[in-house]
Each structure stands twice: as structure tokens, then as C-alpha cells.
Chains A and B, each alone.
Chain A
Amino acid sequence: MRLDISLAPETLFHIGSLAISNSFFWLIVVSVFLLVGTFFLNRSLKMRPGKIQNIVEMLLAGAYDFVETTVGDKKVARRSFPLVFTLFFFVLFSNLMTFIPGQAAVTIQTADGVVPLFRAIIADYGLVFMMTMLSVLITQIVAIYVTGPFKYIGRFLNFSSPLNFFLGLMDLIGEVAKIMSLSFRLFGNIFAGEVLGAVMLFLFPFFLPLPFAFLGLLTAVVQAFVFAVLTLVFISMAATVTEAEVESAK
């Protein structure tokens, strides 16, 4: 017996020249489920909330309070909350879906051999990269919108002194490195959790994987939280004008 672990998702079938991988398939299933669930929940909203609505309202209110205390600005909080909470909930939900028991046993026969039908969505670097690009691009757009395009470029290309020029270049590298750090953190944690679970299952299949499954559960929640909070912090940092820029505007 040998371990089947691959960084890239396995291809299930082709539509024309478009390869449908198992994580893409699972992504579509999860997205449709979330959309339909939200649609029905939205339609059944009442002034006197039922059980499910109560839970959802509590969750949303708690999350909103957290966002507001983290950002400290009501307007920024109201505008960034939908994006951040959607990211959080999507990552959390798709992470938790991997804990449905028995799904790793479902395999189908393809041209390349037997392939599992399900794969942890976040353990596919493509999706994580796109989500990170979304969050980084929105951060940059917010920064340009708040500071104005010329000042925004002036942050990175500053010719007032050699030290400022160097610091500006470092800022530029820092912005690019955000893409890597944010995406690798999420992807690495979830993929490592999957690999760890597989290895432990391989070593001793009955009780040994349990504590690691619990660790994976903790990682699933914490990493979803961290990804959303970091996006939020980046946006709120971009939305506040630094003191030096206020000085130069006078």
C-alpha cells in the first residue's frame, strides 16, 4: 500500500478542453449549496425570528461587532463586512465539509486511474491564490481611492531622500509579499492537515488519527478566521491615511 498524495488536484473529466478537477467539482457543489441555502433563508426571514434565523442573526451580529471593534470606523466596517464575512464563512464551510465521514472512500474510475471524487477545496492552490488576489487587489483599490492615485504612487517611489526611496521600495516588496504570505498560510495549513491525516491513517488506522482530526478541526476554524481578519486589517490599514500624508496635505 502506498500513499496517494498530490499537490495538484486530480482531473475527473473533460468538458471540451476544460479539465474538471475534483476540487473544482466539489467547489461547485458547495457554492450551489450555500447559494440555495442563503436564498431560502433570505426568503423566510420574519420579524419574529425562528430557530435558524435566531442562530444566524446571533452569528452575524457577533461577527459585525468584532469587525467594528477591529476596524474602529463605522463606515469602513459597514463597507468591508460583507466581503470579509463571506470570505470567512466560505473558507470555514468548505473546510468543515472535509470532516464529513466517509467521503474519502468515494472514488470514480477515470482515464488516469481511480480518483477520489472529493477533495478539500482549500487544498487546491488555484482557488486560494484567486481569493488572495481578490483580497489584495481590493486592498490596493481602497488605498488608491482613499489617498488618490498620485499619492499612492508616491508611497512607493519617494525621491525626497535615499532612505525614503529605499523604504518605499521595501513597501512595494511588502505589498507583493502579501500575496504569497496570505495564500501560502491558508493553503499550507489545510493541505498539511490533509497530509497529516492521511499519514496517520496509514500508520495506525483506528485511534491514532482522532487527535489529529481534532487538530485539523481547530486549524480549519482558526485559519478561516485568520484569513478574514488579515484581509480586514489590510483593508482598514489601507483606508486610514498615515500621519505623514496628513502633514504633507496641509
Chain B
Amino acid sequence: MEVEAAKYIAAGLAIGLGAIGPGIGEGIAASKALEAIGRNPEASGKITPLMFVAMAITESTAIYALVVTLIILFA
């Protein structure tokens, strides 16, 4: 296999596999937050920023995969 082709396959695999876990995790975080807001709509102002922070932290493993992908592709 050529090096160039192997690079593209590696980049695709890295971000594709790396996005699975955080995708599920963020879905869980959002669903729980929405559930909580549904139960107690007055608390939405407090829940929403916390949800964003939690989601951004959950996202970080996907971002590591993304950084690896970008390094493979562009560096």
C-alpha cells in the first residue's frame, strides 16, 4: 500500500472510531439534562451551562482523536 493511501485510511479510522464513545456520552448527558429540565423547568438556567461544560469535557477524547487526525493529514 502506498504511504499516502495508508495515511488517509488511518485518519478516517482515527476520527471515526474516536467519535463513537463521546457521541454516545454526549447523547446521555443531553438526554439527562433535558429530562431534568422537563421535571423542573425553573432550573433550566442552572442546568444548561453545566450541561455545556460536561459535554465539552466528554467531547475531549473525540478532540484528541481529531487532533491526531489533523496531524496525520496536514503535518
Chain A residues close to B by CB (< 8 Å): 5-8, 66, 181, 184-185, 187-189, 191-192, 195, 222-223, 225-226, 229-230
Q: A7-B75, A225-B52, A225-B53 are in contact. Are A184 and B70 (CB under 8 A)?
A: no
Q: A184-B63, A184-B64, A185-B63 are in contact. Are A192 and B56 (CB under 8 A)?
A: no
Cα–Cα, bound, A181→B75 (Å): 20
Could you say which residues of chain A place their CB within 8 Å of the CB of B74? 5-7
Closest Cβ–Cβ distance, residue A172 to chain B (whole Å): 20
Give the residue name and chain of the B residue nearest to A182 (CB).
B60
Cα–Cα, bound, A6→B74 (Å): 6
CB distance A185 to B70 under 8 Å?
no
A8, A195, A226 pick with most chain B CB within 10 angstroms? A226
**Proximity string of chain B (33-63) to chain A, C-beta cutoff 8 Å, 1 when within and 0 when not:** 0000000000000000100110011011001
Could you say which residues of chain A place their CB within 8 Å of the CB of B67? 184, 187-188, 191
Could you tell me the dominant secondary structure of chain A's interface residues?
A: helix
Could you say which residues of chain B place their CB within 8 Å of the CB of A229? 53
Cα–Cα, bound, A222→B64 (Å): 18
Closest Cβ–Cβ distance, residue B68 to chain A (whole Å): 10
Q: A5-B74, A7-B74, A7-B75 are in contact. Are A226 and B57 (CB under 8 A)?
A: yes
Known: A188-B70, A191-B67, A226-B56. 4 other contacts (CB 8 A): A7-B75, A185-B60, A222-B56, A225-B49
Could you tell me the dominant secondary structure of chain B's interface residues?
A: helix
Is B30 in the interface zone, CB < 8 Å from A? no
Give the residue name and chain of the B residue nearest to A4 (CB).
B74
Closest Cβ–Cβ distance, residue A247 to chain B (whole Å): 30
Closest Cβ–Cβ distance, residue B49 to chain A (whole Å): 7
Cα–Cα, bound, A5→B72 (Å): 12
CB distance B70 to A7 under 8 Å?
yes
The 8 closest A-B pairs by CB, nearest first: A188-B63, A226-B56, A188-B67, A7-B75, A185-B60, A188-B66, A5-B74, A222-B52
CB distance A189 to B70 under 8 Å?
no
Give 28 pairs: A residue, B residue, CB < 8 Å, sorted on A: A5-B74, A6-B74, A6-B75, A7-B70, A7-B71, A7-B74, A8-B75, A66-B49, A181-B60, A184-B63, A184-B67, A185-B56, A185-B59, A185-B60, A187-B67, A188-B66, A188-B70, A189-B59, A192-B66, A195-B70, A222-B52, A223-B56, A225-B52, A226-B53, A226-B56, A226-B57, A229-B53, A230-B53
Closest Cβ–Cβ distance, residue A189 to chain B (whole Å): 6
Could you say which residues of chain B place their CB within 8 Å of the CB of A66? 49
Cα–Cα, bound, A222→B67 (Å): 19
Closest Cβ–Cβ distance, residue B60 to chain A (whole Å): 5
Cα–Cα, bound, A184→B65 (Å): 10
Could you say which residues of chain B place their CB within 8 Å of the CB of A181? 60
Give the residue name and chain of the B residue nearest to A219 (CB).
B56
Give the residue name and chain of the A residue nearest to B56 (CB).
A226
Cα–Cα, bound, A189→B70 (Å): 11
Q: A5-B74, A7-B74, A185-B59 are in contact. Are A226 and B66 (CB under 8 A)?
A: no
